[in-house]
């Protein structure tokens, strides 16, 4: 007969599995294996906006009709452009750029101690300058 687990033991096991899964995901993200969702979203919406803008500009009807009618005739461009503007108002550019700002500030501080770090966060020790 197999031993049964108590409710507390099951809860502890589930918590341990969740913690291991989160740690694995965090390590993968730190190593650069997983793309940042904000960056990926910004790239997709930017490509959609650029594609829609190209189709909007090469359409011969664009020059013949009013601006609002032209936007109405190209809903893909209009929706992607509004989405891109909305993402910028929501601050997506701060979330995408923030990690590189943090890394640059860390490099500035580490330079005072003859150290640096790469984009993955790995510490680089530089040789000491020889003082005569």
- E strand or H helix at 123: strand 123-125
pLDDT tens column, 74-130 = 999 999 999 999 988 888 877 766 777 777 788 888 888 888 877 777 888 888 777
Which tops the pLDDT comparison, 10 or 20?
A: 10
CA distance 26 to 3: 34
Question: Domain boundaries in the chain?
Answer: 37-90, 94-132
| Cα separation, 11 vs 56, whole angstroms | 57
What's the pLDDT score for residue 115?
Answer: 83
- Say what the pLDDT of residue 36 is: 67
State the pTM of this model. Answer: 0.52
Write phi, then psi, for 123 (nearest 5 degrees).
Answer: -75, 135
Rg of the chain on CA atoms, in Å: 25
Q: What is the mean pLDDT of the chain?
A: 76
């Amino acid at each position: 007969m197999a031993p049964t687990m108590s409710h507390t033991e099951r809860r502890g096991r589930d918590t341990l599995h969740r913690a291991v899964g989160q740690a694995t995901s965090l390590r993968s993200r730190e190593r650069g294996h997983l793309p940042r969702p904000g960056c990926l979203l910004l790239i997709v919406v930017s490509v959609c906006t650029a594609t829609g803008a190209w189709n909007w500009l090469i359409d011969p009807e664009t020059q013949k009709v009013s601006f609002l009618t032209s936007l109405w005739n190209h809903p893909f461009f209009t929706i992607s452009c509004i989405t891109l503007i909305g993402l910028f108002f929501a601050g997506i550019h701060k979330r995408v750029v923030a990690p590189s700002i943090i890394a640059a500030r860390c490099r500035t501080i580490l330079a005072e101690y003859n150290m640096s770090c790469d984009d993955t966060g790995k510490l680089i020790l530089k040789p000491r300058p020889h003082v005569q």
